[in-house]
Structure 1
Amino acid sequence: MKVAVLGATGLVGQEIIKVLEERNFPISDFVPLASSKSAGKVVEFSGAQVEVREVADDAFKGVDIALFAAGAGVSKRWARVAVSKGAVVIDNSSAWRLDPEIPLIVPEVNPEDVMRHNGIIANPNCATIQAVVALAPLHKRYCLEYFSAVTFQSVSGTGKQALVELDECARAILEGKSFEPQVYPLPIGFNVLPHIGAMDESGVSDEEWKMLNESRKILHHQKLQVSCTTVRVPVKRGHSEAIVAQFEERVTLEEANAILSEAPGIIVMAENKYITPLQAAGSDLVYVCRLRSDLGMSRALSMWVVSDNLRKGAALNAVQIAELVASKTKAF
């Protein structure tokens, strides 16, 4: 199978390449693509050094699956081109997620939607993915009415320059020097920023709208109520979420533990044990910790959910979608 990765030199693109190798995805021809700025660089795949090509109309000729990890603008420009050449595009940006004609897929949650595609399949936002992986098994049994999420999102979600800025900012603060941020609106070192993305007139940020709209689409639950505050924290890798979920029926802890323990892609931490982003880095799993009955709502559960945003939150989910496409398409 001929597979292209657009954005091959970025954080997510590099992780996609790594996951493709780890999972032995059936690749006969590998095509790393990027902008003119990164064209000519070399990436490693299956022990070989492969030169990155500049994305162009002819770059997708003969490509079966194209994994996009280069931002919404790039996806809008090139996704339809890739499809016209015969490729199935799996896009990691926000460009197509809310398009009603394009499926938004988390393989543990709604794999049945994948073959509704017309050439493009959207990969959800990293924070949404780990939330719905944790909530979907309970929703299927008890019907989720509402959930609130406060997210604590690492800087790798912004990209390579954010990782550099975190290091430089922390160093400057420790040395008593001033620091002018370039990536974030305020210094991120030893600090938290209480929004991710631009805020609209109502004060809701882009990332918060993603949690609402994407969760509804993935779960096929347009009446789902969602309250969300997204926070950028000085962590390099791994997102954490404090979630309170209310259901139509009362859920006992014993029932919730049993359901989640049997769900794919989830590890439920016993009793008062928990996972932090540092421990989750490099893992493919979603960790559900501190699962407990909510103090204020009788039909609600509270939980601490942690996952690697570059793995399950991006690269792994994209490759899992590619595996679904490959398994359901006779031509592959």
Structure 2
Amino acid sequence: MRVGVIGATGAVGRELVEVLGRRRFPVTKLRLFASGRSAGTVLPTPFGDIAIEEFSQAAARDLDLALLAVSGDFAKAHAPGLVAAGVTVVDNSSAFRLDEDVPLVVPEVNGQALGEARLIANPNCTTAILVVALAPLHAAFGLKRVIVSTYQAASGAGAEGMAELERETRRVLVEGQPARAEVFAHPLAFNVIPHIDSFQPNAYTREEMKVVWETRKIMGLPELLISCTAIRIPTMRVHGESVTIETERPVTADAAREVLRRAAGVKLVDDVAKNLYPMPLTATGQDDVEAGRIRANPVFGDHGLDLFLCGDQLLKGAALNAVQIAERLPALAVPA
């Protein structure tokens, strides 16, 4: 396939290129697009050295597949034109996620929703990490309520957020100066910030509501009760999620472990006697979402469960999921 990565210089764009190579995606020609200031820069890739091109719809019209790692406004402006030109588009932004006629896909959960669509939305990173664990638990025990607290790395704010955390940590430790904030609402170094994205009229942030809206759509549960609190923490990459569920049918920790042990996209890391549980340190660079600290929730009795998840935001939360979607395209017919 003739594949284009649009937004190739950002954190997700770079991961997309690496994932395409690592998973041996059938690329006959790879093209990298970015803004005019990056045009001409040559990047080493698994497919050889490739010069970045300035994006235009005319330049990208001959692609078979476009992987978008751009803003929602950019996606809204250009994705429909690419689709009209015959390009299949997988969009990482939030632009089309809640559109009824655009499938929002996590392949392990609702790959069948892809159908013959030419425009497919990649979910929010936090949602993608969450649903790979929620879906098998729902299939086994049913879900009534889900309460999530997220611990989201600087990578969620892109390359600029990661650079700010590194720079400001050095400022504190090496220069003895207070940390500053440009990307984040407050300094992130040696801090946690319970604020990701804009606040909504209901006092939740848009990031928190994305988890609610997108989880319901992906899992086909429009009435599922979900509450989310999203917190930015000073780690470089990998999002952690503390999850409490109330189930429709009785559940035990051992039964839940067995379900998650067999679940696609999940790695069970749950042996507290050996201090084994999900952590950003161990989940970094890993395709699967780590699940652990699984225990009965005393509030909901035999219908409640607590667990902790860690997933690489740049992989399962973004680039990996986008490529997994592309692997399901009818033109490839790659088995699940």
Q: Distance in 1 between matches of 2:254 and 2:162?
A: 40
1:180 corresponds to: 180
Amino acid at match of 1:170: T
Find out whether 1:127 has 2:130 as its counterpart: no
Letter of the aligned partner of 2:257 in structure 1?
A: N
Deviation for aligned residue 1:328: 5.8
Q: 2:309 aligns with which of 305, 308, 318?
A: 305
TM-score, scaled relative to structure 2: 0.95
- Higher deviation after alignment, 43-52 or 9-18: 43-52
- What's 1:146 paired with? 145
Residues 169 and 179 in structure 2, CA contact (< 8 A), matched pair in contact too: no
Residue 163 in structure 1 maps to residue 162 in structure 2: yes
- Superposition map of 1:53-64 within 5 A: 53-64=53-64
Does the residue aligned with 2:80 lie in a helix, a strand or coil? helix
Structure 2 residue runs of 5 or longer lacking an equivalent are none
The CA deviation at 1:62 is 2.1
Amino acid at match of 2:284: A
Output one character per residue of 1:143-191: Cα deviation in whole Å (capped at 9) or x when no partner. 2111011000000110111112112222222333134311111110000
Q: Quick one: which amino acid aligns to residue 124 of structure 1?
A: P
Flag the 1:171–1:328 CA change in 2: closer, same or farther, 3 A.
closer
1:114-144 superposed Cα distances (whole Å, 9 cap, x missing partner): 1152x21000001001110011001112221
CA deviation after TM superposition for structure 1 residue 80, in Å: 0.9
For 1:237, the equivalent position in structure 2 comes to 237
Which residue pairs with 1:278 in the alignment?
281
Verify the 8 A CA contact 2:133 2:260 in the aligned structure 1: yes
- What residue in structure 1 maps to residue 19 of structure 2? 19
Q: Please give the alpha-carbon distance, in whole angstroms, between the structure 2 residues aligned to 1:275 and 1:141.
A: 22
List per-residue Cα deviations over 1:55-77 (Å, max 9, x = no partner): 11212222111100011111111
Provide closer, same or farther for how the CA distance between residues 162 and 270 of structure 1 changes in structure 2, counting only shifts above 3 A: closer
More off after superposition, 96-105 vs 33-42: 33-42
Equivalent of 1:292 in 292, 295, 299: 295
**Equivalenced residues, count:** 329
Q: Could you tell me which amino acid in structure 2 is paired with residue 300 of structure 1? A: G
Aligned partners of 2:288 and 2:179: how far apart in 1? Answer: 36
Which residue of structure 1 lines up, in the alignment, with residue 82 of structure 2? 82
Measure the CA separation in 2 of the matches of 1:213 and 1:240.
19
CA distance in 1, matches of 2:294, 2:225: 21
User: How far, CA to CA, are the matches of 1:151 and 1:62 in structure 2?
Assistant: 40
Q: Tell me, which stretches of 5 or more residues in structure 1 are unaligned?
A: none
SS of alignment partner, residue 181 of structure 2 = coil
Give aligned-pair identity as a percent: 39
Superposed displacement of residue 326, structure 1: 4.7
Classify the secondary structure of the residue corresponding to 1:159. helix
> 2 CA distance for matches of 1:326 and 1:40?
34
CA distance, structure 2, for counterparts of residue 181 and residue 207 of structure 1? 20
Aligned amino acid, residue 64 of structure 1: D
For residue 318 of structure 1, the aligned residue among 322, 330, 334 is: 322
Number of the residue aligned with 2:190 = 190
Which stretch of structure 1 is more off in the superposition, 74-83 or 229-238?
74-83
What is the alpha-carbon root mean square deviation over aligned residues?
A: 1.4
Contact 1:60 1:85 in 2 (8 A): no
Task: Answer whether contact 1:63 1:85 (CA < 8 A) is retained.
Answer: no
Asked whether the 8 Å contact 1:102–1:116 carries over to 2, the reply is no
Quote the Cα distance in structure 2 between the aligned partners of 1:136 and 1:2. Answer: 33
